[in-house]
Structure 1
Amino acid sequence: MGLNIVGFVEKVNGNEMSYTTFAEKYLSNNKPVVITGLMADWRARKDWLFDDGTPNLHFISSSFGNSKVQVADCGSREYTDQKRFDMTVAEFIDHWLKLSSMEHGNLYLKDWHFVKEHPEYTAYTTPQFFRDDWLNLYLDHYHMHEDCDTYRKRDNVSCSDYRFVYMGAKGTWTPLHADVFRSYSWSANVCGKKKWYFLSPEQRHLVFDRNMKNSVYDIFEEVDDTIFPNFTKTIWLECTQDQNEIIFVPSGWYHQVHNLEDTISINHNWFNAYNLSWVWDLMLTDYKEAREYIEDIKDICDDFEGVCQRNLAANTGMNFYDFFNFMVRFSFANIVQLSHLAKSSASADWRSSYTAQNLIFNLESAKDIAIKMKLTCLSENHNISLDFGSVLEEPAFLELCFQLERTYAFIHDKHEPTGDKKNFLMDELLDMGLGKLLSAVVCNPENLATLIDDALLNLVMSPNKI
């Protein structure tokens, strides 16, 4: 029996849509979309392709061939994924070029951290709709793990970022999955064509076994209905993504992807205030599973909670403490931006601007997650202590604030901010009557929720603020 495909993914011209419209229609509604018209000025389109639109593999090999990458063997399954191994880009391309014109490739280069490895080469510019990227912005300045030395440098847990290049010959593919952290993702076809099959989050349970432990690997192979009894009830969306088109994949949507032609794509995973709840819900679910798995050693383990958190980090990519530190720093940064906007605005109705509304929404979303966190082990201090004043003095935090300001200036005002980035920290908070925040110490989610409440009360609700 074939797939029950009932619809197609909408396609829109990105030059005819504002960021606010995109956020309201697709981010907020968690809806997939294909966007055209956003790749015209990318250097990758010029350097990485021949005039006929096929990949210039010789250029890529000669320019970036020494990079070590992960390659998937699309014909070999290993547990829930394809078997992977390490190669250099040059070795991978050499294999690709040896294929005859009649052969379909089995090797698929995935998760190449191109931006981190080649920062001097600007292959592309992240489109406006995807700039509000808290995940990669944070990782540009901080490690995800506070105890990052305990993790291997290049494993999947301590990834330096989630910006990738994928390269594969016609016939390569990716099995059914939902993205890391249940993040959003976007994927841009520099060349080639892909076929996507989407399953909405509401139907997730239909592709799992009776115990909700294992999901279907390949939706086109014979699916055993004794193992996956509900698979025949699934309803799918289908999409063909052409060259120079970008697809937005929302949180929690399962998808399987096939390269219909030789393809090079640029992909980001990211999250922000719109999908924080998806990230937290996944972590909480994975935590409960990790805890249940080792419950039998609880009475003999000196640090049972620590073991649970280490297992969570290994399985999910971060643990409660990593995510909490991330949330605190991003909340601090949004408070700084909101105070900077309030002080620099000449108009009394600054609160109604798109940027102000974005920052307020960010903080309210962070507060909602903090309230949910209060019901976990994070309700106790566990040696977590981030004080506002000290964080404001971190060079990494200063740069994080500046990049966040640039992000919202670009997506809402279409310009880069001017002025000295060093002028909008402690002095501005004092000028805005927020001096008591400088002594605030956040040790648990309740502290964070209170801090956000105080900041919003002083900056947004107070009639005396500009």
Structure 2
Amino acid sequence: MDDWIASKHWVSSNGRPNLIFFPTHFGKSKVQVADCDTREFTDQKRIEMSVSEFVNHWLQGSMENHDVNGKSVLYLKDWHFVKEYLEYQAYITPLFFTDDWLNLYLDNYHMHDDLDADRVSNDISCSDYRFVYMGAKGSWTPLHADVFRTYSWSANVCGKKKWLFLPPQQFNLLFDRNMKNTVYNIFDDISETDFPGFKKAIWLECIQEQNEIIFVPSGWYHQVHNLEDTISINHNWFNSYNLSWVWDLLLRDYKEAKEYIEDIKDICDDFEGLCQRNLAANTGMNFNDFFIFISRFSLANVVELYYLRGELNSENSIWHCSAIIKHFALNLSSIRKTALKMKSEGVKGNLGIINLLETLSDPKFLKLCTGLGRIYSVIHEEENWSCTMKKALMADFAKYGSQVCSPEDLITFIDYAVSKLSSNCDEQNPLLSVLYEIQPHEQN
């Protein structure tokens, strides 16, 4: 982190936040700020202000006693700094966290293709999930699990945080008797009548210092307190390894949304459509959004495999042992398993039409492929490759020419692609072994 521009510009010589830098360079930016002293439903009350206004409030508070003057402790959260200042390059995403499908996708597409749905869920379905957080000593974030049940990482540019974690195996202890609401602040006087399991929870506590990075696995509830004036950089993301967490959350929230309005089912012209709109508004995506997401990524992974087969030569042993090949195969395996889970839940019909030929000619999709290839070329220290070459290599495969409209279609497409990629392979086939979990002796 020492070589990050953020570590040089945002931190004073005494190690504290260089607050004057922000209004000078980013002062007009509009940001969401949490009032740490005011609860609003399940979160802190949010207000919008400019960065200059926020810094002025912070500086005034540091010169005064909050308890005396009654001023609230404010916490700037979820500032989409990367999207707003593309040229600034405040930091470099650590290698361990670069396999990020969520933000790569949102750099090229909206989560909702329906603009009306975008407006409905504007606060949740945002431009990306790369954030800057800034808060004075005493600012904090209530107990929560991250959006979409993503992974997250948080880097302290300066300051100190206290984290309290609870693993997924204990999450039921945080809910009330009806399993509807969770504890807001674990340091409150929690009613044993309302939350009968709370006292049994075993918390993991961690102090995060300046220049340290915390990784939060999917589904871990956590509460965070700034022990000093702090600036941090946070990402939420998911990839093939935690894709199932995203689907499980969507399914759970869908069932809750459906149950909540069940009494109007008989008088509603499009009950399922209403359920999906509510799901998008509350969770940030619906079944259609998720299906289009995994369909595009399945095609992107296939494009990369086709390119690599041509580049490495399918007759060459490198094709069978390359780590990057196995990585793409694992990605397809995860998507296929998720599509099978969707199918088993009765999800069918025209969720979203992905025309393979049209998608292959879409500049946004080619950018997605380039980004995906770049991620794994960095991880596996391979060279980058061009969209033009990949498009040419896919010409033969494009004759498949089918539309993907349902989880069953997606499974069929992946199976077809793997069969084409596996043709003329006499040796151990990494695609088959990874995708279908076949042992080497079972491939003949």
Tell me whether the two structures share a fold, i.e. TM-score over 0.5. Answer: yes
CA contact (8 A) 1:360 1:456 kept: no
Once the two structures are superposed, residues 221-276 of structure 1 have per-residue CA deviations (whole angstroms, 9 ceiling, x without a partner) of: 10000000000110111111110011100000000000010000000000000000
Q: Which amino acid aligns with 2:397?
A: L
Report the CA distance between 1:456 and its aligned residue: 1.8
Structure 1 residue aligned with 2:389, among 401, 423, 427?
423
Aligned mates of 1:183, 1:385 — CA distance in 2? 26
CA contact (8 A) 2:78 2:133 kept: yes
Report the CA distance between 1:411 and its aligned residue: 1.2
Partner of 2:19: 57
Structure 2 residue aligned with 1:320, among 287, 311, 315?
287
What secondary structure sits across from 1:281 in the alignment? helix
Unaligned runs of 5+ in 2: 67-71, 430-444
What secondary structure sits across from 2:148 in the alignment? helix
Structure 2 residue aligned with 1:166, among 133, 137, 141?
133
CA contact (8 A) 1:193 1:262 kept: yes
Aligned mates of 2:2, 2:229 — CA distance in 1? 20
Structure 2 residue aligned with 1:288, among 255, 259, 269?
255
Partner of 2:378: 410
Aligned mates of 2:347, 2:388 — CA distance in 1? 33
Aligned mates of 2:341, 2:87 — CA distance in 1? 41
CA contact (8 A) 1:191 1:265 kept: yes
Once the two structures are superposed, residues 13-51 of structure 1 have per-residue CA deviations (whole angstroms, 9 ceiling, x without a partner) of: xxxxxxxxxxxxxxxxxxxxxxxxxx1211000111112
Aligned mates of 2:249, 2:87 — CA distance in 1? 35
Aligned mates of 1:268, 1:253 — CA distance in 2? 15
The residue correspondences of 1:351-370 to structure 2 (distance < 5 A) are: 351-370=320-339
Aligned mates of 2:348, 2:19 — CA distance in 1? 53
Structure 1 residue aligned with 2:210, among 223, 243, 248?
243
Q: Tell me the TM-score normalised to structure 1 length.
A: 0.87
**How has the CA–CA distance of structure 1 residues 276 and 461 changed in structure 2, closer, same or farther, with 3 Å as cutoff?**
farther
Report the CA distance between 1:102 and its aligned residue: 6.7
Structure 1 residue aligned with 2:353, among 379, 385, 397?
385
Partner of 2:69: none
Report the CA distance between 1:380 and its aligned residue: 1.4
Partner of 1:26: none
Report the CA distance between 1:318 and its aligned residue: 0.2
CA contact (8 A) 1:336 1:429 kept: yes
Q: Which amino acid aligns with 1:57?
A: L
Matched, 1:340 2:307: yes
Report the CA distance between 1:82 and its aligned residue: 0.7
Matched, 1:434 2:397: yes
What secondary structure sits across from 1:269 in the alignment? strand
Aligned mates of 2:261, 2:236 — CA distance in 1? 30
Matched, 1:257 2:219: no
Aligned mates of 1:72, 1:302 — CA distance in 2? 39
Aligned mates of 2:324, 2:192 — CA distance in 1? 50
What secondary structure sits across from 1:100 in the alignment? helix
| Count of aligned positions | 421
Partner of 2:436: none
Report the CA distance between 1:453 and its aligned residue: 1.3
Structure 1 residue aligned with 2:2, among 40, 58, 70?
40
Report the CA distance between 1:156 and its aligned residue: 1.7
Partner of 2:433: none
**How has the CA–CA distance of structure 1 residues 188 and 252 changed in structure 2, closer, same or farther, with 3 Å as cutoff?**
same
CA contact (8 A) 1:351 1:460 kept: no
What secondary structure sits across from 1:99 in the alignment? helix
Partner of 1:227: 194
Partner of 2:437: none
Matched, 1:274 2:274: no
Partner of 1:72: 34
Partner of 2:362: 394
What secondary structure sits across from 2:31 in the alignment? strand
Q: CA RMSD in A?
A: 1.7
CA contact (8 A) 1:225 1:231 kept: yes
What secondary structure sits across from 1:57 in the alignment? coil
**How has the CA–CA distance of structure 1 residues 144 and 86 changed in structure 2, closer, same or farther, with 3 Å as cutoff?**
same
Report the CA distance between 1:416 and its aligned residue: 5.2
Unaligned runs of 5+ in 1: 1-38
CA contact (8 A) 2:117 2:281 kept: no
Q: Tell me the TM-score normalised to structure 2 length.
A: 0.91
What secondary structure sits across from 1:366 in the alignment? helix
Q: Which amino acid aligns with 2:195?
A: F
Report the CA distance between 1:342 and its aligned residue: 1.1
CA contact (8 A) 1:111 1:166 kept: yes
Identical positions, percent: 60
The worse-fitting range, judged by mean Cα deviation, of 144-153 and 447-456 is 144-153
The worse-fitting range, judged by mean Cα deviation, of 344-353 and 282-291 is 344-353
Report the CA distance between 1:157 and its aligned residue: 2.8
Aligned mates of 2:121, 2:265 — CA distance in 1? 31
What secondary structure sits across from 2:273 in the alignment? helix
Once the two structures are superposed, residues 354-390 of structure 1 have per-residue CA deviations (whole angstroms, 9 ceiling, x without a partner) of: 21111000000000011111134631125x3212111
What secondary structure sits across from 1:378 in the alignment? coil
